[in-house]
Amino acid sequence: MPWKYIGKTIDARSTANAVQLFLEGELIKTHVRKPKGKQTDLNDYPPEKIAFFQRAPVWCRRRAAEVGPACVAVIEELLAGNALHHLRSAQGVLGLADRHDADRLEAACAKALTADDPSYRTIKGILAAAPDQAVPADEPAGDGGAAAFLRGPQGLFADNVVPLSAARSAEAS
């Protein structure tokens, strides 16, 4: 049914070959019956919803090129395997450009690629972490890439060392 008639009471007439929709006796839509499944007429959607269906992988790649190379890399990675399965994620990443500056989105995409997690959720989280600031670049911490919970040699039992002779004398008494 065309979107402008949503919320109104209509009459429907179904025959072996077609379904007709009427509003106050006036024919507003005819659909040819399909033996199986469903059919959608994009002309029944409001214009802003039709735009969503036109945002195919080609559109995503073109729009990503307008943002920057990191965004292109994210979109390419999202659409690499099963493009239609990840299309909504790619559209979501590009939709973040509507709420954030293109430079911030590009920096967030670069940071997500560095973290090896180029997903919509990660990029959205990076942008949400500092909403009014530029996305900070990762600065080297000087740990040579060591895991977060490693400590230097000074952290290994430095204050808790008990001499072996003192431990034995305590056990003997």
Q: Where are the alpha helices (DSSP H) in 35-101?
A: 47-53, 57-67, 69-80, 83-99
pLDDT at 110: 92
Which parts of the chain have pLDDT scores under 50?
A: none
The predicted-structure confidence for 157-167, as pLDDT tens digits, reads as follows 555 555 666 55
Residue 65: per-residue pLDDT: 92
Give the pLDDT score at 38. 74
Intra-chain end-to-end CA distance of the chain, in Å: 91
Separation between Cα atoms, residue 6 and residue 9, nearest integer Å = 8
Residue 29: strand pairing partners: 21
* pLDDT score of 22: 93
